[in-house]
A and B are shown apart, each in its own frame.
Chain A
Amino acid sequence: MNASYLELKGIRKMFGDTPVLNNVDLSIREGELVTLLGPSGCGKSTLLRCIAGLTELDGGRIMLGKQDLANLPPRSREVGMVFQSYALFPNLTVTENIEYGLKMRGVPKKERLRRCEELLALVDLEDKRGTYPQHLSGGQQQRVALARSLAVQPKVLLLDEPLSALDAKIRKNLRTEIREIQKRLMMTTIFVTHDQEEALTLSDRICIMNKGHIVQDGTPEALYSTPRTEFVARFMGSYNVLTRTDAIRLFGDGIGMAESFAIRPESVRLLSEMESASSIGGKRIVEGKIDSITILGNVIRYSVDAAGVLLTIDILNDGRSLRMEESGTIRLALDPSQLLQLEKEGA
């Protein structure tokens, strides 16, 4: 299980003179769900299309099992893909869409229909057999697209922002459903998204991409708790990114050699007037002025001006939180052990 199943080595792709993928290496184990996460234009969709064979490589190798995919046409790669726009065939019914791949492979009718029923059950669309795609909701269409690509039992499933065109509630449900199906089938999957919450909830592993590179990869926990660069810190959450000067102003000397630092918004505590400094050993107390307060539902987000540094602080909205007003003064407790040192971009 530990050996890599899909292996990308030194993938390069140029669009004109601009490099879109710059020596990308990635290896994926069998049955793993890996997310490519990054802002638009970072090359994540291009990487996916290269694996599928829809975009030609300018350099590098793609190994799937023991097979080199580079020179195979898309139809021989045994790779399934789900598109953001579903790309269902409008002239075919749900059943005909799902069995399309099997038909192209010459599977007999009886076997096709049996397989089709299985998949309809899997995506919970048994009552939509004879419906045409345009009469289905977006979520249903995407489930048909998923079933269609799973029908031919691909070795790898590629999902290109499959949930981006759906509204929030359906997106959350479908995301859970995709993860369940993926686990049940032990399907090796690459999921492309620009939504960090989506990536955190469904991945075994996340690769953060920027400007044609994978800048950091790891489990969702690892990426969230220890971003290595400023880009990752900003992308993964609402980390406070501090320059060295800012960090010294808040934490004093002895914070390490890095040029920039990050601290999570939920690791800073606001102190009530009654709490004495002695009750919170090991932390630095800093005075600050509240700049703005935003209620995000279960979290209250404060923007605090502390010693000339603007900090974002998240406090759980549990009803016990302090009543505070904008432009009031407040004391903050900062924990030096929570301060992360960031590497330079591209290092």
Chain B
Amino acid sequence: MMTRLKASWTHRSLMFLLMIYLLIPLLATGLYAFAKDWQTTVLPESWTLEWVGEMFQDLRFLDALWTSLYLCLISVALSLVVMLPAVFVITVYLPRWETFMKGLVVLPYAVPGVVAAVGLIRTYSSGPIDIAGTAYILIGAYFVVILPYMYQGIRNSLLTVSAVELLNAAELLGARRMRAFVTVILPNIWPGVIISTLLSFSVLFGEFVLTNMLVGGHIQTIQVYLYQRVGESGHLASAIAISYFVFILAMSTILMKLGRKINGEVR
């Protein structure tokens, strides 16, 4: 009993230290966003809502936030529509392709963002598909960025529920493949798929290098906007960063709750 208590105490202090380590930059940013004078003291001398106010008065901020939101949503939705059936078919009917797919999905990790961006710009700035600087190239790139998360997430869900056996059982009971997929596969992999979608969304929402290089001059996403304002005022940039963080936090919480609810219905 003693050792267990001791172990849990060490765990707690480790967790606590880790939390401090992770949260301090956020906290400092948060403080800075509301600070008026902060020169020679540990904590700011006076507070103000000026920066937050300025941010919300800047139409470009809300515009950028909205642009980011819909670009990410479109990319994730597109990925879901393409990857769900694709991964299902590969895992269930073409397991031989898995080795190939495993190699393919790590490629986005292997190619640095800058290299990928330059390559994409060169390829798509002329020729038959001239889409450099448009939202299309960004959505395309985003699709590739989240490929690993979507592939692994969907695949793991399928393997966890033994999709092949469930499908076999359903087919032997008289179900057509499509019906079997909808009635016994989809409801069981849904929780896992929701989690990968959520993860993909967060990844995209925080992605900067590709976004800035591909469409930085043309489309203002929240990332690009933040980058431009950093030089102008540290306080304003902090305010943007914090609201950006709060936005993602709210989004994640909603999706997590949703995932858990669906999960609860399955159990």
Does the CB pair B266–A104 fall under 8 Å? Answer: no
CA distance A83 to B167 in the complex (A): 12
Inter-subunit contact B174/A105 (CB<8 Å): yes
Residue of B nearest to A104 (CB): B174
The CA-CA distance from A75 to B169 in the complex, in Å, is: 10
* Interface secondary structure of B, over-half rule: helix
**A79 and B161 alpha carbons, distance in the complex (Å):** 23
Which residues of the other chain, B, contact A77 by a CB distance below 8 angstroms? 172
> Of the candidates A80, A89, A90, which one forms a contact with B172 in the assembled complex, judged by CB atoms under 8 Å apart?
A80
Q: Are B165 and A89 in contact (CB under 8 A)?
A: no
Asked if B60 is at the interface of the complex by the 8 Å CB criterion, the answer is no
* Interface bits A26-56 vs B (CB < 8 Å: 1, else 0): 0000000000000000000000000011100
Given A83-B165, A87-B165, A90-B161, do A52 and B174 touch, yes or no (CB 8 Å)?
no
Bound Cα distance A91, B169 (Å):
14
Q: How far is the CA of A40 from the CA of B266 in the complex (A)?
A: 35
Instruction: Given A87-B166, A91-B184, A134-B267, check contact A75 B171 (CB 8 Å).
Output: yes
B175 touches A (CB below 8 Å): yes
Whether the Cβ atoms of B169 and A132 lie closer than 8 Å is: no
Q: Compute how far the CA of A73 lies from the CA of B174 in the bound complex, rounded to whole angstroms.
A: 9
Give CA–CA (A87, B185) in the complex, Å: 12
Rounded to whole Å, the gap between the CB of A16 and the closest CB of chain B is 11
> Nearest B residue to A75 by beta-carbon distance?
B174
Check A312 for interface membership: any CB of B closer than 8 A: no
State the CA gap A105–B168 with chains docked (Å): 16
**B267→A81 contact, CB < 8 A:** no
Most chain B C-beta atoms within 10 Å of own C-beta, residue among A85, A89, A90: A89
Q: Mark B161-191, 1 if CB is under 8 A from A, else 0.
A: 1100110111111111001000110011000
Contact B165–A85 (Cβ < 8 Å): yes
Known: A104-B179, A132-B267. A89 touches B188 (CB 8 A): yes
Given contacts A90-B266, A134-B267, contact A79 B172 (CB under 8 A): yes
Query: Which residues of chain A are near B174, meaning CB under 8 Å?
Result: 75, 101, 104-105, 152
Given A87-B168, A89-B166: A152 in contact with B173 (beta carbons within 8 A): yes
Known: A87-B162, A134-B267. A100 touches B187 (CB 8 A): no
CA separation between A90 and B165, bound complex, in Å?
12
Kindly identify, within residues 147 to 170 of chain B, every residue whose CB is under 8 Å from any CB belonging to chain A. 161-162, 165-166, 168-170
A148 within 8 A of B: yes
In the bound assembly, the distance between CA atoms of A149 and B183 in angstroms comes to 17
Give the Cβ gap from B260 to chain A, nearest Cβ, in Å: 16
Chain B, residues 92-117, CB within 8 Å of chain A (1/0): the string is: 00000000000000000000000000
Instruction: List B residues at the A interface (Cβ < 8 Å).
Output: 161-162, 165-166, 168-176, 179, 183-184, 187-188, 266-267
* A-B pairs with beta carbons under 8 Å apart, 8 shown: A54-B172, A75-B172, A83-B168, A83-B169, A85-B165, A87-B165, A100-B184, A105-B174
Across the A-B interface, give the 4 residue pairs with the lowest CB-CB distance, nearest first: A101-B173, A104-B174, A91-B187, A87-B169
